[in-house]
Amino acid sequence: MVSNISVEYANAMKKLDSARTPEERLAALLEMKSWAPTHKGAENLRSDLNRKIAELRSEIERLKSSGTKKGSSSASSAMYIKKEGVGQVVLVGLPNSGKSWLLNKLIGKEVTPVTPYPFATKEPAPAMLNYNGGLIQLVELPALIEGSSEGKAQGKEILGAVRNSDAVLVCANSINDKDLIVSELEKSSIFLNKLRPPIVVKNSSFPGIQISGKDFLGFPVEQLEQFLKNSGFANSQVIISGKISSISEVVEALDSKICYKKAVFVNPFLVNDHILIDLKDRIFLLLDMILVFTKKPGEDVDNKEPISLSVGSTVENLAHELHKDFAKNLKHAKVWGSTKFPGQMVGPEYVLKNNDIVEIAI
């Protein structure tokens, strides 16, 4: 072992010791390589790191290939629920966490039986929540346990369903339960209520590393450049749009396996009618969608079947949803709700808000 290693290198070694997955080990090794001594006496150390990195990359590729083949298995297919409605929100929790009770309460009828014994839910239980006319798909998943991320109790399949969802409703009766669920999700590269670090790295046809936004870096730019070279980005374009404090954040941003989900945490046993109304609002907000109602000139609003659109959608986006000819011939629209006065005339670029009523003129 080289004696004059830095504190940063030692910290990266600790991450390697605690790593649970091949991806975590690879990230730690790459970080170690970026901090490895460059003098001649450390040649064997750097060579050993390169060997381990190459071996891990090969292992990860083999696992990806194997995972693709297993993806068609009956167990995996059984956990897959086709998305419907405004969006899909999965209910996750430990055994006897109250998922079934909460699902029934949200829907207003018995979707799945509530039992006093654990693991009663053995397959996904989907149901549609009527939210102001829009239908949100809720799916209760079988219980997670400690070790689900390693495949225990159908863990891989359950976590795959979480990854496929649009958002997550976590049922936890204590801080310890919440921490365990979050831990199992993160071990499977599913992060709740977090954003991907604000750095984008793309391979470039031009030589060298071009970095935009260096002022956002909380460490020397030379360290970032060395890390990128070690990671196969010797020729790359880097765009940094926010604070980046450590190499670990760069590693996270480059990890394509990580997915980020919005989530609401709730203790089902503390839910009453007042909390239930608020919970439905919070579930809808997870989806980053709006509901827009339409009306024809001279007729009443259609308040039974709203159109669901992504937050930030315009009148033109709505027209595309209704009919392609509407968008092609769109001149203006009248909007009730978010405008300064009811029925205000707006152009195609007007950004709609939740519960707006729109009358399109063509």
Q: Looking at the predicted structure, is the pLDDT value of residue 362 above 70?
A: no
Average pLDDT, stretch 34-41?
Answer: 76
Domain(s) labelled CATH 3.10.20.30 in the chain stretch across 290-361
With bands split at pLDDT 50, 70 and 90, how would you rate the model's confidence at 116?
low
Fold classified for 76-195+259-286 = Rossmann fold (3.40.50)
pLDDT of residue 4: 64
Amino acid at residue number 274 = H
φ/ψ (deg, to 5) at 127: -160, 155
- Residue-wise pLDDT for 270-319, tens only, equals 999 889 999 999 999 999 999 999 988 888 887 778 999 999 999 999 98
DSSP string, 172-199: -SSHHHHHHHHHHHHHTTEEES----SE
Residue with tokens 């729109």: 358
Mean pLDDT of 237-251: 94
- Other C-beta atoms closer than 10 Å to the C-beta of 312 total 10
Which of 1-5, 79-83, 208-212 has the weakest average pLDDT?
A: 1-5
User: Between 40 and 281, whose confidence is greater?
Assistant: 281
- The residue count of the chain comes to 362
Amino acid, res. 185: L
Counting residues of the chain whose pLDDT is more than 90, the rounded percentage is 56
When pLDDT is cut at 50, 70 and 90, the band that residue 67 belongs to is: low
Mean pLDDT of 125-135: 92
Q: Nearest 5°: CA angle at 48, between 43 and 54?
A: 125
Nearest to 268 by CA among 144, 136, 91, 146: 91
Q: Do the Cβ atoms of 125 and 103 come closer than 8 Å? A: yes
Q: Amino acid identity, residue 280?
A: K
Residue partners of 301: CB distance under 8 A and separation at least 6: 293, 294, 295, 357
Is the pLDDT at 69 greater than 70, yes or no?
Answer: no
* CATH 1.20.58 segments of the chain: 1-70
Structure tokens at 18: 């605690």
Q: If you classify domain 1-70 with CATH, what class do you get?
A: mainly alpha
The listed CATH number (3.90.230.10, 3.40.50.300, 3.30.530.50, 3.10.20.30) that belongs to domain 290-361: 3.10.20.30
The residue assigned the tokens 């405004």 is 86
pTM above 0.85, yes or no: no
* Segment 189-194 mean pLDDT: 96
In the chain, list all ranges with CATH 3.40.50.300. Answer: 76-195+259-286
Is the Cβ–Cβ distance between 264 and 285 less than 8 Å?
A: no
pLDDT tens digits for 98-115?
Answer: 999 999 999 998 887 776
What pLDDT is stored for residue 62 in this prediction? 63
CA distance 54 to 30: 11
pLDDT of residue 3: 52
Query: What is the reported pLDDT for 245?
Result: 93
Q: For position 322, what pLDDT does the model report? A: 82
The answer to whether residue 71 scores a pLDDT higher than 70 is no
Say what the pLDDT of residue 64 is: 62
Question: Six-digit token pair at 340?
Answer: 């300064």
| Per-residue pLDDT band at 30 (split at 50, 70, 90) | confident
